[in-house]
Chain A
Amino acid sequence: MKRFILLVLMFLPIVVLSQEKSNFHSLDTNVISEVEISTYRLQGYRKNLHNTRYSQKDLSRLGVLSASDLLQTLSSAHVNSYGHSGLASPSIRGTGANHTQVYWNGLPINSITLGQSDLTIITTELSDNVSISYGSDLSNTSGALGGTIELNQAVSWKSSSILYRQSIGSFGTTGTTVRIDESVGSFHYSVGIVQLSSLNDFKYTDRTLRIPIQKTMENADFSQLGLVGTIGTKLDRHEIKISSLITDSERSLPTIMGVQTKGEKQSDKNVFGVIDYQFIGDKIKNQLKLGYVRLENKYFNPSIEFESLNFSQMFTIEDDIKVYFNTPWSLSMRIAGRFEYADSPNYKQQIKREILSNFSKIERRKENSYHSFSLRTEFIDQKGVGLFPGVGGSIKLIKNKPLHLKWNGSRNFRMPTLNDLYWLPGGNDALMPETGYCGDIGLSSNLVSNRKRTNSKIINKLTFQAVSFYSIISNWILWTPNGQNWSPRNVKKVQNSGLEFSLNLSRTVNSIRGSKNLGLSLSYTLVENTVLESTLIGDKGIGKSLLFVPKHCFKYKIDYQIKDWIIIAGQGLTGRVFLDAANQSYMPFYGPVYFIVSKEVKHTKGAGLKLGIKVNNLLNEEYQVMPYRPMPGVNFKIMGEINF
């Protein structure tokens, strides 16, 4: 606690300094928009990475409710899903689930005990936008060797709205969202509540029987209640925002096919809170953040009357300052302190960990080029972990044409989780952090053309990103047998290389009869995942892929909008993944199709009504993502939304 107070005092001068310098001459055009602030500044650090951003409107159009849905539907990432509403973990660019960092308003929310997030319980319904970045990122925390997922609350200064969204679907699935946003002068508040539930009692074919028969999924129900609140105010160039999100998720854990249910249940109660103070001057920006994350996970197995309660808390304080010079140069610095506490019946005592970090970045931004150099230093329990540099850049390849060549490179690391270090039995406090070198280079473009005809105007848009990436991660931590127990060890050196390609095409025709739009989005990811070295003698996995990493992922979405009608169809094809280190057994490819039809009716006073139906797994494909965990066949969801 003393250190916490000390850090607060340490940051105060920076805040004061930033206020004093606010009378610098204005050169910066990045001033607060009248409508929206709280663009969470750290996003800017990842602009040079391959990244995609989705607004709440994008997500609601597609009936996306969770980060798991989002990644499966739209992203270049792969999701290992244990079934509808089951545990879902991400894999970006061939890395593991704990190489993807998930942030809520800038707070790292990956479990400090497990090192990863369960994407199913991360609701996107209460976020205003979600961003996915691909590739190593050093700016916020260490460990993002694969990529980052970021959920944010925005503050709108000049808009007020009430939203009611309701969905009803197959297998007793319902979802209700209510959100109120209100702005009065320089004061804003918003509150939102979401309730999701599903019985998940879908039919599946049990193929573990000699004569396969149809069964009903048992013990797979899911419910979630989420509550979000944000208040914000601004005075001149100063803003303050306080946000909080509470989620309470309960779910039953089904067994695999052929195994009787044991009635296992899991509950996750998460509390996130953040206070952001932001100052935006002409030549200096500053953001001070205080954050709190509490994760509580309870597991219960009634068949053996076993209960386990694990919880962790994290306090964070950080200051992020950016100074613009009178040249193309700017300097950013971010100092952060993170204090972690965790408790579990499998720890000898409550565990505490303290992480102090500094991230500095110098940037040179000109009209046709951008270059940056960054350096991260981190101290864990007052011991230095090392220096982690990063470079990035982009150049415009053809003058006056928006075709950019971008590149990034960095050295990154992931510290062992608290379970890796302290779990009894097996925890290994001699573990070294995983370290990696990651790089990517790619082309991106954003082309828009307008053509006018007699009674219409045609707008064609094309955006594409083609990125080639490479990473090599050493000291890869795996839990391996060690005598009577399993214990984590630094076992492997893993190389990932590949290609991400995404293309968005759209053609909009505006005429006096109304507007029409046809859009096509494609994404393809190729991942060559190879184990280069292993401490295991005679490891048959050397030269082979790790488990559950697909080599090919292809997703597409076609949407057609005419007047108030929108038709969307899409599919996510995932290639085979291996089930053993020698790559002898595998899960075959799958590619469920979805189809959405919706109609929007807008009232002249801004009120709107939207009705739609989504058909998941349109072709009733029988598939599994994880072995013997069936996914539902064709199913429906009726969606309604009133906005005024």
Chain B
Amino acid sequence: MKYLIFILSTVTIFGCTKKEIGPQHINEPLFAGQKVLVLNEGNFGWGNASISAYNPNQNRVANGIFSSVNNVPLGDVCQSGIRWNTSYLIVVNNSNRIEILDSTNLESIGHIDCMGSPRYLLPARHERAYVSDLYSGLLGIVNLDNYQLVDSIPVPGWVENLIYGNDFLYATCPNDESVICIDTTFNAVIQSIDVGIVATSVVKDRNNQLWVLGLGSGATSAHLLCIDPSTNTIITNFEFPEFEAPTQLKINGTGEELFYLNNGICRMHISDNELPSNKLITGYGQNNYGLSINPLTNEIYLTDAKDFIQPGSLFRFSQNGQLIDSVDCGIIPQAVIF
């Protein structure tokens, strides 16, 4: 009997200490005042997506602010986000959810359950928004009044970026090597424009022309295309040299200058007749991952995901490519919301 008591008391002594449960991350308190949000994807399957708040005037950053405000993790793979009225809409890809945050204090005020693997979101009229998806083969329509998924449109597989042009919705379809045109009145795909590249990014310039960037498929190289939405035809087509892999096409606030990542940051005027031969910015970061342009200041924001397992960095440059400052963010910083 005494041995039994000895065994049980030993077990109890060692077993009765507790403690923290689950992963423990640095969650810093949110500061007041002006801020841009840096969305950190986190590692797929680790549930460590996070949001950093950055004040560009004070070179101040607070990491893990979603968790510090809401006391729950953000989820798995924070893909993109937008500011909409007094809210932030944050797309959390592998959690299949769009978080709605109050833009003043970042408190979660609701969420939208999506169709599997949401990527990007674009608000439309009548409090509706469209949500692209990686796997479902559907373009989701959500009601932003009650945060419900209300309808969907069949699309050719993976749909990535979304943009309006000429009163129609355009979406890049990487696997289908096309850009589709959707009539938002009838919520139907009315035309598919064959672009012959793995089209991912799309932006609209000041002339309402659509610029599409995509990697090559098979033996083809990457291309930058310009589509006229009034005719849905390709009017300009720039081919990148073999083995180049440009990504993250963005446009400045005036809709005149295109920016993209290609072993550095490249800048090109929409009236240029050829791709830029020189890079605007090089030598910053180990693994350039995300690119954003502040539409008001035209400042350039570059994120560095490093080796994907350590906190990344955010670099801020003037529109002419001069480094203004840099800060540390969360794991795999990508998108920036201004």
> A593–B308 contact, CB under 8 A?
no
Q: Is A180 an interface residue (CB 8 A)?
A: no
> B116–A257 contact, CB under 8 A?
no
Q: Which of A124-132, A192-200, A451-459, A583-591 contacts B (4 or more CB under 8 A)?
A: A583-591
- Which of B47, B215, B247, B310 makes the CB contact (< 8 A) with A258? B47
Report the minimal beta-carbon distance from A493 to chain B, rounded to whole angstroms. 15
Report the minimal beta-carbon distance from B92 to chain A, rounded to whole angstroms. 9
Given contacts A536-B307, A627-B48, contact A569 B24 (CB under 8 A): no
How far apart sit A459 and B26, CA to CA, in the bound complex (Å)? 54
Q: Is B16 an interface residue (CB 8 A)?
A: yes
Given contacts A541-B310, A628-B22, contact A304 B45 (CB under 8 A): no
Query: Which residues from 180 to 214 on chain A have a C-beta closer than 8 Å to any C-beta of chain B?
Result: 207-210
How far apart sit A390 and B328, CA to CA, in the bound complex (Å)? 45
Chain B neighbourhood of A579, CB < 8 A: 23, 25, 46, 48
Given contacts A618-B15, A623-B21, A624-B22, contact A547 B47 (CB under 8 A): no
Report the minimal beta-carbon distance from A514 to chain B, rounded to whole angstroms. 14
- Which of B8, B116, B307 makes the CB contact (< 8 A) with A480? B307
- Which of A259, A538, A593 makes the CB contact (< 8 A) with B94? A259
Report the minimal beta-carbon distance from B310 to chain A, rounded to whole angstroms. 4
Chain B neighbourhood of A623, CB < 8 A: 21
Q: Is B4 an interface residue (CB 8 A)?
A: yes
Q: Is A619 an interface residue (CB 8 A)?
A: yes
Q: Is B126 an interface residue (CB 8 A)?
A: no
Given contacts A210-B71, A579-B23, A627-B22, contact A569 B7 (CB under 8 A): yes
> B73–A536 contact, CB under 8 A?
no
Contact string against B for A residues 608-640, beta-carbon threshold 8 Å, 1 for contact and 0 otherwise: 000000000011011110011000000000000
> B286–A621 contact, CB under 8 A?
no
Query: Which residues from 1 to 49 on chain B have a C-beta closer than 8 Å to any C-beta of chain A?
Result: 3-4, 6-8, 10-12, 14-16, 18-26, 45-48
Q: Is B305 an interface residue (CB 8 A)?
A: yes
> A558–B73 contact, CB under 8 A?
no
Q: Is A483 an interface residue (CB 8 A)?
A: yes
Given contacts A210-B72, A587-B23, contact A621 B15 (CB under 8 A): yes
Chain A: CB-nearest residue to B215: A484
Chain A neighbourhood of B156, CB < 8 A: none
How far apart sit A484 and B6, CA to CA, in the bound complex (Å)? 59
Report the minimal beta-carbon distance from A367 to chain B, rounded to whole angstroms. 39
Contact string against A for B residues 127-139, beta-carbon threshold 8 Å, 1 for contact and 0 otherwise: 0000000010000
Contact string against B for A residues 568-606, beta-carbon threshold 8 Å, 1 for contact and 0 otherwise: 010101000001111011111101010100000000000
- Which of A209, A518, A581 makes the CB contact (< 8 A) with B307? A581
Chain B: CB-nearest residue to A304: B135
Given contacts A260-B96, A556-B14, contact A587 B307 (CB under 8 A): no
Chain B neighbourhood of A538, CB < 8 A: 286, 306
Chain A neighbourhood of B15, CB < 8 A: 571, 591, 593, 618-619, 621
> A567–B75 contact, CB under 8 A?
no
Q: Is A303 an interface residue (CB 8 A)?
A: yes
> A628–B23 contact, CB under 8 A?
yes
Query: Which residues from 244 to 264 on chain A have a C-beta closer than 8 Å to any C-beta of chain B?
Result: 255-260
> A584–B3 contact, CB under 8 A?
no
- Which of A303, A484, A619 makes the CB contact (< 8 A) with B247? A484
Chain A neighbourhood of B308, CB < 8 A: 480-481
Given contacts A484-B215, A588-B21, contact A628 B311 (CB under 8 A): no
Q: Is B160 an interface residue (CB 8 A)?
A: no
How far apart sit A571 and B16, CA to CA, in the bound complex (Å)? 12
> A595–B245 contact, CB under 8 A?
no
DSSP majority for the A interface? loop
Given contacts A579-B46, A584-B26, A624-B22, contact A537 B309 (CB under 8 A): no
> A580–B311 contact, CB under 8 A?
yes
Q: Is B187 an interface residue (CB 8 A)?
A: no
> A584–B46 contact, CB under 8 A?
no
Chain A: CB-nearest residue to B306: A536
Residues of B in contact (CB 8 Å), total 51
Q: Which of B46, B116, B287 has the most CB of A within 10 A?
A: B46
Chain B: CB-nearest residue to A212: B72
Residues of A in contact (CB 8 Å), total 54
Chain A: CB-nearest residue to B20: A588
Chain B: CB-nearest residue to A518: B3
Q: Is A539 an interface residue (CB 8 A)?
A: yes
How far apart sit A65 and B307, CA to CA, in the bound complex (Å)? 37
Q: Is B331 an interface residue (CB 8 A)?
A: yes
> A481–B287 contact, CB under 8 A?
yes
Chain B neighbourhood of A560, CB < 8 A: 3-4, 7
How far apart sit A623 and B24, CA to CA, in the bound complex (Å)? 12
Chain B neighbourhood of A585, CB < 8 A: 23-26, 48
Report the minimal beta-carbon distance from B288 to chain A, rounded to whole angstroms. 10
Q: Is B95 an interface residue (CB 8 A)?
A: yes
Q: Which of B76, B94, B310, B331 has the most CB of A within 10 A?
A: B310
- Which of B7, B76, B311 makes the CB contact (< 8 A) with A256? B76
How far apart sit A558 and B24, CA to CA, in the bound complex (Å)? 32
Chain B neighbourhood of A567, CB < 8 A: 3-4, 7
Chain A neighbourhood of B94, CB < 8 A: 259
Chain B: CB-nearest residue to A301: B135
- Which of A208, A541, A582 makes the CB contact (< 8 A) with B47? A208
Q: Is A540 an interface residue (CB 8 A)?
A: yes
Query: Which residues from 483 to 513 on chain A have a C-beta closer than 8 Å to any C-beta of chain B?
Result: 483-484, 491
Q: Is A478 an interface residue (CB 8 A)?
A: yes
Given contacts A259-B76, A303-B116, contact A478 B307 (CB under 8 A): yes
Given contacts A580-B310, A585-B25, contact A573 B75 (CB under 8 A): no
- Which of B3, B23, B263, B310 makes the CB contact (< 8 A) with A582? B310
Chain B neighbourhood of A210, CB < 8 A: 70-72, 108
Query: Which residues from 545 to 566 on chain A have a C-beta closer than 8 Å to any C-beta of chain B?
Result: 547, 556, 558, 560
Chain B neighbourhood of A619, CB < 8 A: 11-12, 15-16
Chain B: CB-nearest residue to A559: B7
Chain A neighbourhood of B11, CB < 8 A: 558, 569, 571, 593, 595, 618-619
Chain B neighbourhood of A580, CB < 8 A: 309-311, 331
Report the minimal beta-carbon distance from B21 to chain A, rounded to whole angstroms. 5
> A558–B22 contact, CB under 8 A?
no
How far apart sit A547 and B310, CA to CA, in the bound complex (Å)? 10
How far apart sit A537 and B263, CA to CA, in the bound complex (Å)? 15
> B286–A591 contact, CB under 8 A?
no
How far apart sit A560 and B6, CA to CA, in the bound complex (Å)? 10
How far apart sit A589 and B17, CA to CA, in the bound complex (Å)? 10
> A622–B21 contact, CB under 8 A?
yes
Q: Which of B15, B71, B287, B307 has the most CB of A within 10 A?
A: B307
Q: Which of A258, A558, A595, A619 has the most CB of B within 10 A?
A: A258
> B24–A589 contact, CB under 8 A?
no
How far apart sit A383 and B4, CA to CA, in the bound complex (Å)? 61
- Which of A209, A256, A569 makes the CB contact (< 8 A) with B8? A569
Chain A neighbourhood of B26, CB < 8 A: 584-585
28 contacts between A and B (CB under 8 A): A208-B72, A210-B70, A256-B47, A258-B73, A258-B95, A259-B75, A303-B135, A483-B263, A536-B286, A538-B306, A558-B7, A569-B7, A571-B15, A579-B23, A579-B25, A580-B309, A580-B311, A581-B307, A584-B311, A585-B23, A585-B24, A585-B26, A586-B23, A587-B22, A593-B14, A618-B15, A621-B15, A627-B22
Give me 19 other A-B pairs in contact (C-beta within 8 A), A556-B14, A584-B25, A624-B22 excluded: A208-B72, A210-B71, A210-B72, A256-B46, A256-B47, A303-B116, A537-B286, A567-B7, A571-B15, A579-B25, A582-B310, A588-B19, A588-B20, A588-B21, A591-B14, A618-B15, A619-B15, A621-B18, A624-B23
